[in-house]
C-alpha cells in the first residue's frame, strides 16, 4: 500500500507541475521582434513652392516632381504647376509645366506623368515638358491621389465624392463607390489597393479582384500619403496635420515624427528605397523636406 501511495503522489506532482506550466505559457504574451526606426533630416528646400501637395520620384531621370496646387485645392483657376527638384534638394525648374489648376497626386507610366487636378486627369509628356491631354471625369468632386499597378492601370481617389476611379486603356470608370469615407492616399501593392482616409482616419486595403475591404490600422487621423519602405511588411503613412507613422508587419503603428505643434503638414509623400530617402511636402510651409529612415 505504501508503494502504491508513493506512486500516486508522484503522478499527482507531475500532473500539477504540467498544469502550472501550461497555465504559465498560456498567460505569456510575446511581441514580434519588429525593426525599430527613426527619421534623420537630410535636407530641406527653401520655402519657394506654392502649396506643395505631392512629390514623386522619376527613377529613369533621377529627379523629383512636385505638384504645386497654388493655394486653392478645389478651384479651377489655371494657376497650378509642376516643379522639378533634384534628389539633393536643388530646385531645377520651379515652374516646369504650367497650365494646371490644383494638381495633387501623381503617377508615372513610361514617359507620361499623370496628375489628379480637381476634376481632370492631366497627362504630361515628360520628355517635352508639356501637357498632352486633359480627361474630364464625370460627376467628380475633388480627385486627390493616384497610384499605378503593374498592368499600367491607374486608381484615382475622389475625397469629396467618396469614390475611387480606374483609368485603363484611355477610359475612366467608377472602380469603388461604397465603404469609403474621404479616401486620400493610394498605393497599389500586389493584389490589393492600400488606402489612407481622412474621414474614417484609417489605413485599409481593398482586394483588386473582389474589392473586399480590410481595415489594417486605425487612428491615423487625417490620412494622406502612403509609401512602401522596400522592407517587407513596413509602410509609411502620413497624417496631413503633421505626423508620420511607421506601419509594422502586424499593422500596429509607431509615430516616427510629429510636427503638429509647429504646424508643419505632412502631405503626399514619396520614398526612394535605393536612396533610403523619404520626401515630405509640407503644404502650407511651402517646402520639401527629405529624411533618412534609420534603423535603431
Does residue 77 lie in a domain region?
Answer: yes
Confidence of residue 209 (pLDDT cuts 50, 70, 90): very high
Q: Which structural domain, as residue segments, surrounds residue 159?
A: 33-295
Is residue 84 a contact partner of residue 67, using CB atoms and an 8 Å limit? no
DSSP class per residue in the chain: -HHHHHHHHHHHHHHHHHHHHHHHHHH---------EEEEEEEE--S-SSSEEEEEEETTTTEEEEEE-TT-TT---S-EEEEEEETTS-EEEEEEEEEESSEEEEEEETTEEEEEEBTEEEEEETTTTEEEEEEEPTT-S-EEEEEE-TTS-EEEEETTTTEEEEEETTEEEEEE-SS-SSEEEEEEETTEEEEEESSS-EEEEEETTT--EEEEEE--SSEEEEEE-SSTT-EEEEETTTEEEEEPTTS-EEEEEE-GGGT----B-EEETTTTEEEEE-GGG--EEEEEEEE-
C-alpha dist (Å) from residue 80 to 52, 195, 277:
10, 25, 26
Q: What is the CATH number of the domain that holds 120?
A: 2.120.10.30
Judge whether 21 lies within some domain: no
| Burial class of residue 25 (count of CB atoms within 10 Å of its CB; 0-12, 13-18, 19+) | exposed
Does position 15 have pLDDT exceeding 70, yes or no? no
Average pLDDT over residues 152-163: 98
| Residue 31 in this model has a pLDDT that exceeds 90 | no
pTM of the model: 0.88
26 in a structural domain: no
Query: In 3D, which of 98, 47, 72, 102 has the Cα closest to residue 288?
Result: 47
Does residue 7 lie in a domain region?
no
pLDDT surpassing 70 at residue 82: yes
Residue 2 resides in a domain? no
> What is the average per-residue pLDDT within 48-63?
98
Q: How many CA atoms lie within 13 A of 119 on its CB side?
A: 12
- What value does the mean pLDDT of the chain take? 91
For 220, the grid coordinates are 491615423
d(CA 101, CA 69): 7
* Residue 265 lies inside a defined structural domain of this protein: yes
Contact 241, 223 (CB under 8 A): no
Cα 190 to Cα 145: distance, rounded to the nearest angstrom: 18
Lowest mean pLDDT among 72-76, 207-211, 255-259: 72-76
Three cell numbers, residue 70: 497654388
**Number of domains composing the chain:** 1
**Is 19 part of any domain?**
no
Q: Which whole number is the average pLDDT over 174-189? A: 98
pLDDT tier at 33, thresholds 50, 70, 90: confident
- Over range 98-119, report the average pLDDT: 98
Cell (9 digits) for 177: 463607390
Amino acid at each position: 500500500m505504501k508503494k502504491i501511495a508513493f506512486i500516486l503522489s508522484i503522478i499527482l506532482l507531475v500532473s500539477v507541475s504540467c498544469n502550472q506550466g501550461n497555465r504559465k505559457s498560456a498567460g505569456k504574451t510575446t511581441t514580434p521582434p519588429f525593426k525599430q526606426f527613426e527619421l534623420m533630416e537630410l535636407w530641406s528646400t527653401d520655402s519657394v513652392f506654392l502649396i506643395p501637395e505631392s512629390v514623386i520620384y522619376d527613377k529613369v531621370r533621377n529627379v523629383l516632381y512636385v505638384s504645386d496646387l497654388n493655394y486653392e485645392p478645389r478651384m479651377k483657376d489655371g494657376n497650378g504647376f509642376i516643379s522639378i527638384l533634384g534628389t539633393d534638394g536643388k530646385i531645377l525648374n520651379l515652374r516646369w509645366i504650367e497650365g494646371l489648376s490644383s494638381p495633387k497626386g501623381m503617377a508615372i507610366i513610361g514617359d507620361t506623368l499623370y496628375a489628379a487636378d480637381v476634376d481632370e486627369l492631366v497627362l504630361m509628356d515628360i520628355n517635352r515638358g508639356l501637357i498632352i491631354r486633359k480627361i474630364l471625369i464625370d460627376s467628380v468632386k475633388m480627385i486627390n491621389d493616384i497610384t499605378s499597378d503593374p498592368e499600367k492601370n491607374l486608381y484615382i481617389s475622389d475625397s469629396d465624392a467618396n469614390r475611387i476611379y480606374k483609368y485603363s486603356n484611355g477610359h475612366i470608370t467608377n472602380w469603388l463607390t461604397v465603404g469609403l469615407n474621404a479616401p486620400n492616399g493610394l498605393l497599389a501593392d500586389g493584389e490589393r489597393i492600400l488606402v489612407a482616409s481622412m474621414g474614417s482616419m484609417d489605413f485599409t486595403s481593398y482586394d483588386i479582384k473582389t474589392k473586399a475591404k480590410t481595415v489594417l490600422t486605425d487612428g491615423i487621423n487625417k490620412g494622406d500619403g502612403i509609401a512602401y519602405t522596400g522592407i517587407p511588411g513596413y509602410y509609411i503613412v502620413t497624417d496631413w496635420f503633421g505626423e508620420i507613422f511607421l506601419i509594422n508587419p502586424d499593422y500596429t503603428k509607431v509615430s516616427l515624427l510629429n510636427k503638429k505643434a509647429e504646424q508643419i503638414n505632412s502631405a503626399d509623400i514619396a520614398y526612394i528605397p535605393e536612396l533610403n530617402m523619404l520626401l515630405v511636402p509640407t503644404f502650407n510651409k511651402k517646402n520639401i523636406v527629405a529624411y533618412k529612415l534609420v534603423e535603431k
